[in-house]
Amino acid sequence: MIQLYITIGVMALKATIFKADLQIADMDRHYYQEHALTLARHPSETDERMMVRLLAFARHASAALVFGKGLSDAEEPDLWAKDLTGAIDLWIEVGQPDEKRILKACGRAAQVVVYSYSSTSHIWWNQISSRVARARNLTVINIAAASSEALTGFAQRNMQLQCTIQDAQIWLSANGQTVEVEFSVSNS
- Which residues, other chains included, contact 107 with Cβ-Cβ below 8 Å and sequence gap of 6+? none
Residue 2 lies in a domain: no
More confident position, 94 or 1: 94
Residue 7 lies in a domain: no
- Residues 165, 27: Cα–Cα separation, whole Å: 6
Residue 6 lies in a domain: no
- Residues 134, 157: Cα–Cα separation, whole Å: 41
Residue 162 lies in a domain: yes
47-64 residue pLDDT tens: 999 999 999 999 999 999
Residue 10 lies in a domain: no
pLDDT surpasses 70 at 4 = no
Domain around 129: 16-187
Residue 1 lies in a domain: no
Residue 12: predicted pLDDT: 57
Residue 139 lies in a domain: yes
**Number of helical H runs and strand E runs in the chain:** 4, 11
pTM equals 0.90
Banded pLDDT at 72 (limits 50, 70, 90): low
pLDDT surpasses 90 at 31 = yes
Q: In degrees rounded to 5, what are phi and psi of residue 4? A: -115, 125
Banded pLDDT at 109 (limits 50, 70, 90): very high
Contact between 104 and 75 under an 8 Å Cβ cutoff? The reply is: no
- Residues 173, 47: Cα–Cα separation, whole Å: 16
122-174 residue pLDDT tens: 999 999 999 999 999 999 999 999 999 999 999 999 999 999 999 999 999 99
- Residues 56, 93: Cα–Cα separation, whole Å: 9
Structurally, how many domains does the chain consist of? Answer: 1
Closest to 51 measured CA to CA, from 150, 123, 169: 150
93-105 residue pLDDT tens: 999 999 999 999 9
Residue 9 lies in a domain: no
- Residues 39, 155: Cα–Cα separation, whole Å: 11
Q: What is the CATH number of the domain that holds 181?
A: 3.10.640.10
